[in-house]
């Protein structure tokens, strides 16, 4: 089954010292479907990997994209409108662009499973949007 990856889970996959590393590796290794990466998370992941782990970690992410380990998807024109709508609807949460974009892409592509370490923003919209957050927190 396909799963959409958020920044935190993608970062944790590469950082062996991250507390989410084990769950991230298990999830991605066991996944029989596509590992979908929303393009809006890439600048965050790139920055975190480079800043915290160095150039080689960033290069490993790039290889994952180029070698088709990850399937990168962009927001559609309607997706940008949905980002605006989500940010307004959940203004009290401060979702911001990236989290709203992850949700918009999940909805548009009908991918209910979102792999994330974010248990602050996503649980608040999980039930109303119909998302399934994976993996379980460590």
What CATH number does domain 3-134 carry, 3.40.50.300, 3.40.50.1010, 3.65.10.10, 1.20.810.10?
Answer: 3.40.50.1010
The whole-number pLDDT of residue 129 equals: 86
Gap between the Cα atoms of 57 and 49, Å rounded: 6
Q: Give the residue from 33, 40, 108, 43 showing the smallest Cα distance to 74.
A: 40
Q: How far is CA 31 from CA 50, 86, 132, in A?
A: 26, 28, 15
Integer Cα distance of 3 and 94 in angstroms? 24
**CA 5/CA 49 separation, integer angstroms:** 15
Give mean pLDDT, residues 52-71: 97
Domain chopping of the chain, boundaries? 3-134
Sorting pLDDT into bands at 50, 70 and 90, what band is 127?
Answer: confident
What is the predicted pLDDT for the residue at 124?
85
Residue 37's beta-bridge partner residues?
72
Q: What is the pLDDT of residues 63-86, one digit of tens each?
A: 999 999 999 999 999 999 999 999
């Amino acid at each position: 089954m396909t799963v959409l990856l958020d920044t935190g889970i993608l970062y944790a996959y590469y950082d062996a010292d991250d507390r989410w590393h084990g769950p991230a590796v298990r999830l991605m290794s066991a996944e029989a479907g596509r590992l979908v990466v929303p393009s809006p998370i890439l600048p965050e992941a790139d920055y975190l990997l480079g800043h915290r782990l160095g150039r080689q970690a960033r290069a490993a992410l790039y290889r994952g994209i180029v070698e088709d380990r990850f399937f990168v998807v962009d927001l559609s024109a309607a997706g940008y409108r949905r980002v605006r709508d989500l940010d307004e609807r959940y203004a009290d949460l401060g979702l911001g662009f990236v989290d709203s974009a992850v949700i918009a892409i999940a909805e548009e592509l009908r991918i209910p499973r979102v792999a994330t370490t974010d248990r602050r923003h996503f649980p608040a919209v999980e039930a109303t949007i119909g998302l399934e957050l994976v993996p379980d927190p460590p």
